[in-house]
Amino acid sequence: MPWKTLDDLDLNGKRVLIRVDINVPMEDGKVTDTTRIDRIVPTITDVLAAGGMPILMAHFGRPKCKVVPEMSLSHVVPALSDILGQPVTLIDGNYGARVAALEPGEIALLENLRFNPGEEGNDAGFAQRLASLGDVYVNDAFSAAHRAHASTEALARLLPACAGRLMQAELSALEGALASPKRPVCAVVGGAKVSTKLDLLGNLVGKVDHLVIGGGMANTFLAAQGFDVGKSLCEHDLADTAREILSKAEAAGCAIHLPSDIVVAREFKAGADHEILSADNCPTDAMILDAGPDTVAKLEEVFTECNTLIWNGPLGAFEIAPFNAATNAAARKAADLTRAGKLISVAGGGDTVAALNGANAAPDFTYISTAGGAFLEWMEGKTLPGVAALEG
């Protein structure tokens, strides 16, 4: 790996600037999901154990370069302190003087970086101001690594830099799944629209052995092959693009898997009347809302044949029953194979994580990424500024 980790740097007595992602959901002033906070604990505890002084940097919401009280990180401090088991000092004014006053063993958190226009502008001056606060830079926010911001890109070039434990785990898992995977490799790509994942599909067909296309995206591919998809969500204007992807996959030796049977309904609501039909038999007044059991059985066979699985996006309208059946069944099969040591499974993306949690499959996956856009751009083969800066 071309980037350093915490084990490669001397942290004893050092002020350690740590970029984290604690952009957590809130309701009534309280954090409703602490997953992102939980994930940064190993880095902070290891820095403390090595004699370093953690100075956390983060963003919260989209304040558009101005101070928005509702987006102050002060709202996150109670949950952060509780999970870390010690007080966290919020620094929202004179950075230099207040950081200098910190004692060894204390943990500090700088106020929302996005209050300052220099953050999103990747401003060299703001990065230098941040660099003056520390001796070492640690990026533990893979989920923000696709943004070339001052705290993720410019700052990393001003101090000795390394990846934190979460970043290290993310990069190791993704490199293992795409860069040097144990073959055969299967990728599941679902979601509503092909247009949002053109780069992803184009990159994957040259890297994986099996590509499963599900969700609303599958309707576009079915339509491109001449199937009637009724009133289903479908990007008919991308039919030529879909056919190009199919041709590229065939040339690369990548097997494309589309639904062979479908679950259709006349209305989109929980418990709606529905029927299971072959993929070439969608009624003109119906919507395709899920893949059918025959499709799931074939996917389970593919999973069994493979050694590595990458998952991004659901197979159907997973938010409502009964149109979550295909996603749930396929996810549980992947989880079972992973638990048995027969499959390496890596997943990421907001809807994906929600779907895998809904299927009670997430705990058994090899790795679940907390990132959304960064996970997708990595899978698309794009260079992430925050990662590239660690390699420099």
**Catalytic, out of 121, 176, 372, 373:** 373
- The DSSP call for residue 273 is -
221 known ligand binder: no
**Catalytic, out of 4, 129, 193, 248:** 193
Task: Reduce the DSSP state of residue 40 to 3 states and report it.
Answer: helix
Euclidean distance between CA atoms 349 and 347, whole angstroms: 7
- Our answer to whether residue 36 is catalytic in this structure is yes
368 known ligand binder: no
114 known ligand binder: yes
36 known ligand binder: yes
Euclidean distance between CA atoms 262 and 291, whole angstroms: 5
Euclidean distance between CA atoms 5 and 139, whole angstroms: 10
165-198 exposure pattern, b = at least 16 Cβ within 10 A, e = fewer: bbbbbbbebbebbbeebeeebbbbbbbbbbeebb
8 known ligand binder: no
Q: DSSP 3-state helix, strand, coil percentages of the chain (rounded to 5)?
A: 45, 15, 40
349 known ligand binder: yes
**Catalytic, out of 13, 96, 350, 392:** 350
| Of 254, 267, 265, 268, residue with least CA distance to 213 | 254
358 known ligand binder: no
59 known ligand binder: yes
Q: How many other C-beta atoms lie within 10 A of the C-beta of residue 160?
A: 16
264 near 230, Cβ under 8 Å?
yes
199 known ligand binder: no
60 known ligand binder: yes
61 known ligand binder: yes
108 near 84, Cβ under 8 Å?
no
Q: Residue 166: CB partners within 8 Å, gap ≥ 6?
A: 39, 40, 42, 43, 140, 141, 142, 370
Euclidean distance between CA atoms 340 and 342, whole angstroms: 6
Q: How many other C-beta atoms lie within 10 A of the C-beta of residue 79?
A: 19
Q: Which helix (H) or strand (E) holds 89?
A: strand 88-91
**Radius of gyration for the chain, computed over Cα atoms and rounded to the nearest angstrom:** 23
- Our answer to whether residue 193 is catalytic in this structure is yes
Task: Please provide residue 116's backbone torsions phi and psi, each rounded to the nearest 5 degrees.
Answer: -100, 125
- Our answer to whether residue 373 is catalytic in this structure is yes
**Catalytic, out of 19, 36, 39, 165:** 36
147 known ligand binder: yes
Residues assigned a catalytic role: 36, 193, 350, 373
Annotated binding-site residues for (2R)-3-phosphoglycerate read: 36, 114, 147
Annotated binding-site residues for ATP read: 197, 319, 349-352
Annotated binding-site residues for substrate read: 21-23, 36, 59-62, 114, 147
Annotated binding-site residues read: 21-23, 36, 59-62, 114, 147, 197, 319, 349-352
